[in-house]
Amino acid sequence: MRIIFIRHGKTKGNLEQRYIGKTNEPLCEAGRKEISLKRFPDADAVISSPMRRCVETAEIIYPKKNIIVIEELRECDFGDFEGKNYSELETDPNYQKWLESFGKLPFPNGESSESFKARCINGFEKAVLKFRSSKTLCFVVHGGTIMSVLEHYAFPKKDFYSYQVKNGCGFETELQNGKLTVTEELI
């Protein structure tokens, strides 16, 4: 099965380099324009995070497809860091501790990386099982969601941050025997 992962287009929060997880932000005008100018592979089924920025991106790329929303694919809850950027957080001792842990500590009043990753993997597995007879699935989701799934399933193994991807970009993969092989980076 071919599986495509696309990170949603840019939002105002992305342009301002803010932690945007549970904030249900739409695409900004530049984000909509960039997505509409790109060409992406076709898919039998299009799966999206419930967040507006992902659904809008999926609707622009696949206007004639029914978008299937899977709740577990939403972005991480950044807790106290939500909506803030580095310059607003740099003097926050909790933020410094989080940085020093290389992102391993849970977000204060937010989600831990372990629970976030487990939730994303569960959502991915749910979609693959539901659409197992499809030849090509497309996931229009968040950067963290893509990184979680690929860290868990991609072969050869790489760490979470190896799969960072810019807005409107992603990966084309092949799923065989429970392993994802990245065949192309979509830029």
The model's pLDDT over 151-178, given as tens digits with 9 standing for 90+, comes to 999 998 999 999 999 999 999 999 999 8
% of residues, the chain, pLDDT over 70:
100
Q: Which CATH number fits domain 2-186: 3.30.200.100, 1.10.10.10, 3.40.50.1240, 3.40.50.150?
A: 3.40.50.1240
Question: Which among 128, 127, 135 has a CA at the least distance from the CA of 42?
Answer: 135
Q: Is 32 exposed, middle or buried (0-12, 13-18, 19+ CB in 10 A)?
A: middle
Average pLDDT value over all residues in the chain: 96
Answer positive or negative: Cα dihedral of 111, 112, 117, 122: negative
For the chain, the domains span 2-186
| Cα 122–chain centre separation | 14
82-132: pLDDT as tens digits: 999 999 999 999 999 999 998 889 999 999 999 999 999 999 999 999 999
